[in-house]
Structure 1
Amino acid sequence: MKGSFRRRGCTCKKKRCTCGSKWTYRYSIIDPATGKRKQKETSGFATKAEAEQEALRIQGELQQGTYIEEKNTTFQEFALEWLSGYEKSGKVKQSTIDIRKSKLRYLTKHFGGIKIKDISKLMYQRFLDELAQNLARKTVSSIHEVGSLIFKKAVELEIISKDITEHVEIPKKIETVEDLENQEELPRYLEKEELKQFLKSAKESINPLDFPIFLILAYTGLRIGELCALKWRDVNFEEQTLSITKTIYNRRNKSGDYLLHTPKTRSSKRIIDVDDLVLDVLKQYRRSQKVVNLDDRENHFIFTDDKKSGPLTTYYIYRRMQKLLKKSGIKHRISPHSLRHTHTSLLAEAGVSLEVIQHRLGHQNDRITRNIYLHVTKPKRKEASQKFAKLMGGI
């Protein structure tokens, strides 16, 4: 085989290396600019066999004329270049860009000063393994998505010759029996009586926003961003419907600092039916808006901040919910999104079909809807237990 192999930086006096230095493959290519031969090398291999496998690939590409001379760009340099193009593409929402930025920090902290061509599949896999020790698998997967986007773009631009993020494994924590036994199940939704109790507290609140906001969330299953983005023109009082065409994104949880995005998925754009109670509460709230002059006359958002005259932030609604939960004596750790789960559970208890619930929630696939659909309420769980006991007839 053309080229040579060696352990770079090995200081061992004996033939058997114990210092842990990596293998390097050194070879020569013809510089297309000068026509002269020049030396190249690729390193970072844990074993000689890995280096030899890479050598076979390189020599094969040289013979076929498909070889790409990898650049000396560091990971951080290229990652910043990739991010700039990603932001300017106009194909992704600002909320997605912000999430990608936060995950990119993990990658640049670990690989920042390393030449992107010198990052091996083994190095990348070990990086993911280390992350998995302290982070949730979903978070590690999200970081890997960013890494994959960067390396794929580097291959596309011929900065490197191969994508080392392909076929890596996202580590999965193996749960022990002790983990499962000690795991506290946190309620993600309210039972029917708890919901009544919560809405009663909202109705009695001196804050005029509380009752209409939480009634709509509970009675429609809207996402909190969809609720904040609602405008009066989205309400059809004659047809008794709400049109869901947008969602709000608060970058810094500050009123006035927001972006309107298209819905989360294609199926999230929908028209849903609402009952008389929701419409009556909305009518009453609109009348009170006009009396105290709090309506946002420019954009006509339904729920507005009286100081900034813009839509409410999602964080504001979260804080109001925590206060109302405390007031109503409900100790569950839940968020406004939990009312969406509550809506689904109670619809299931009422016998509404999965297809109707799926459309109402604006879910893209059956899996998500089914998972929430199976959040059976307390009466259903007791009924199942009692039916089984009755079937067995005792022992």
Structure 2
Amino acid sequence: MPREKEPYDIGRLRSKSYPQGECVLTFWRDGSRRRFRLGTSDEAEARRRAPAIYAEAVRPTGTTIEELWEAYRLDKAGRPVVEIMGHEWKAMRARFGAMPAESVTIADCRGYIEERRALGRKDGTIVTELGRLRMVLRWAEKHRLIERAPAIERPTLPKRQIDKHLTAAQVRQLAEACKMPHLALFVHLAYGTAGRAGAILGLTWDRVHFDRNKIDLEDPAITIAHKGRAVVPMTKTLRLRLWEQHNAARSDYVIEWAGQRVGSVKKGLATAAKAAGLPHVHPHMLRHSAAVRQAEMGVPMEEIASYLGHSNPTITRRIYARFSPEALSKGAAALELDDETPISLATRRQA
């Protein structure tokens, strides 16, 4: 799926201060053309500054949920979440769109939950949607667009079942069932790097280092705090497939379709999993499966943490130590009662 186009253009304005032309941000609003100086002639720097300037230029004057939702999307222009929120809003608009942000109540949330359940939506989906609403409202409070973000009630989900993962054989089955080359490559990358879906979909060829046999999942364009990403070794499996794809690349992105960056692979993975006779597969399951496999093979938790981009190995240990063959082995040995069984049996036979 192509990445959503920015709602503005970057042009140039020649002046004495900028002989090569100062970059300017232009867009149409309320039937008139707006233009804002970006204070640089470097196009890359201009594109970095543009989202924040655009968001400020279209800062909402109202405080309905719909106005704040759109303001948040503008503030995060260029990030994958913007496209995702566009789909989520289709479900939420009818109930929340015209509602003043600070008037949302627990009863409104419960009503939304029942509406979505009646349509057959799972609680996990509802939790994500209402979680996004809560995120927008907290953002609005932080930016002083509203005085207080109201409480948002969400369904209570059962304890996460971390046993749901794919074996190495099942990952191969999944990749082979993918009809589209870019989808099969995603499967190999997500499993072979244990990277997050966003990091894989945002990976560019300049961070695939064939000379050093490394893949850098850290996106230098992301300057705000975000979940950790790692620089990982390139497996033989990945190197072969990446090299083949690199020779046929039509864009800067490793995962591409028709020369465009791919925005989501959820539906593609679900279709491939069904064709392969596997349970439902979502992108994060590949990352989780990679970590489980490493733990099962006795890889130290600190190394798994580095692969996953966890800054604190304690988090990794809490989730994955149970899969290690060494897990609780010393504790079990300390409780052994039959250590001298062979000697005892021999003594009885002599008697």
Establish whether residue 244 from structure 1 lines up as the match of residue 217 from structure 2: yes
Question: 1:188-337 maps to which residues of 2 (within 5 A)?
Answer: 188-191=164-167, 195-199=168-172, 202=175, 212-246=185-219, 262=222, 266=226, 268-283=228-243, 285-286=244-245, 290=247, 294-296=248-250, 299-305=251-257, 308-315=258-265, 318-319=267-268, 322-323=271-272, 326-327=275-276, 329=277, 331-337=278-284
Would you say the 8 A contact 1:344–1:357 is kept in 2? yes
What is the TM-score normalised by the length of structure 2? 0.56
Amino acid at match of 1:344: A
What amino acid maps onto 1:215 in structure 2? H
Aligned residues: 269
Which amino acid is the alignment partner of residue 223 of structure 1?
R
Identify the residue that residue 4 of structure 1 maps to in structure 2.
none
Alpha-carbon distance in 1 for matches of 2:111, 2:191: 41
Identity across aligned pairs (percent)?
16
User: In structure 2, what is the Cα distance between the partners aligned to 1:320 and 1:169?
Assistant: 31
Residue 360 of structure 1: aligned partner = 307
Distance 1:81 1:392, change over 3 A: same
- 1:144-159, aligned counterparts within 5 Å? 144-150=134-140, 156=144
Letter in 1 for 2:108: F
Deviation of 1:359 after TM superposition, in Å, equals: 2.3
Residue of structure 2 in register with 1:109 after alignment: 95
Matched residues in 1 for 2:61 and 2:99: separation?
6
- CA RMSD of superposed structures (Å): 4.8
Asked if the contact 1:188–1:334 (Cα under 8 Å) also holds between the matched residues in 2, the reply is: no
The equivalent of 1:341 in structure 2 is 288
Q: Deviations over 1:238-262 (max 9, x none)?
A: 3210111339xxxxxxxxxxxxx73
The aligned counterpart of 1:351 is 298
Task: Return the alpha-carbon distance in structure 2 between the equivalents of residues 96 and 205 of structure 1.
Answer: 25
Partner Cα distance (2:148, 2:74) in 1: 23
Counterpart residue number, 1:143: 133
CA shift for structure 1 position 227: 2.5
Paired with 2:90 and 2:269, the residues of 1 have a C-alpha distance of 33
Greater gyration radius: 1
Aligned AA (2:137): G
Q: Which residue of the other structure, out of 104, 107, 110, is the alignment partner of 1:126? A: 107
In structure 2, the gaps of 5 or more residues are 1-59, 118-122, 339-351
Residues 188 and 81 (structure 1), Cα distance of their counterparts in 2 relative to 1, 3 Å cut: same
- Give the distance between the partners of 2:299 and 2:231, measured in 1 at CA: 17
Deviation at 1:219, TM superposition (A): 1.8
Question: Helix, strand or coil: the match of 1:272?
Answer: strand
Given residue 323 of structure 1, which amino acid in structure 2 is its aligned partner?
A: A
Compared with structure 1, are the counterparts of its residues 148 and 103 closer, same or farther at alpha carbon in structure 2 (3 Å cutoff)? farther
User: SS state of the match for residue 323, structure 2?
Assistant: coil
Between stretches 128-137 and 346-355, larger displacement belongs to 128-137
Letter in 2 for 1:246: D
Q: 1:264 to 1:213 in 2, by over 3 A?
A: farther
Q: Distance in 1 between matches of 2:179 and 2:89?
A: 41
CA positional deviation for 1:85: 4.6
Residue 338 of structure 1: how far off its partner (Å): 1.0
Q: 1:326 to 1:372 in 2, by over 3 A?
A: farther
Does the C-alpha gap of structure 1 residues 124 and 351 become closer, same or farther in structure 2, counting only changes over 3 Å? same
Determine the structure 1 residue equivalent to 2:24. Answer: none
- TM-score normalised by structure 1 residue count: 0.51
